Amino acid sequence: MSLSTFPIVVFATEPDGTEVTVAWGRRIKHWNQQEIEHHRYGCFELYNDKTDYHCEGGLWHDYDSVTNRNVLTDYDGVYELPAPVKRILKEFKFEVSDDF
């Protein structure tokens, strides 16, 4: 069994009408009532009804206690992380490498 909690959820609309949702928090996996994994995890989804555009994926991050910021470490679901997702993460003080 796994439980995902997303205490932060951001909704935005791009000028072209694309709806953007980005959420993050932590994912906890349990087995026999014991926590076996704990990941800082998030997800994103973009869609545009006018163009039928849709994409979604996962976000993994770590916390850097020196800079007091979350650091994006990985993502999946798309080849390149969409610009609106990068922008939202940076607005919420995530470190997002130029490699993403």
Report DSSP letters for 12-75, one per residue: EE-TTS-EEEEEEEEEEEEETTEEEEEEEEEEEEEEETTTTEEEEEEEEEEEETTTTEEEEEEE
pLDDT at 37 over 60: no
Tell me how far apart the alpha carbons of residues 86 and 99 are, in angstroms, rounded to a whole number: 11
Give the pLDDT score at 39: 67
The structure's pTM equals: 0.78
Residue 96 lies in a domain: no
Residue 78 lies in a domain: yes
Q: Could you tell me the pLDDT band of residue 80, with boundaries at 50, 70 and 90?
A: very high
Q: Reduced to 3 states, what is the DSSP secondary structure of residue 9?
A: strand
Tell me how far apart the alpha carbons of residues 17 and 67 are, in angstroms, rounded to a whole number: 35
Considering its fold, how many domains does the chain have in total? 1
Q: Domain residues for 17? A: 2-91
Residue 98 lies in a domain: no
Extract the tokens encoding 15. 């000028």
Q: Could you tell me the pLDDT band of residue 85, with boundaries at 50, 70 and 90?
A: very high
Residue 100 lies in a domain: no
pLDDT at 5 over 60: no
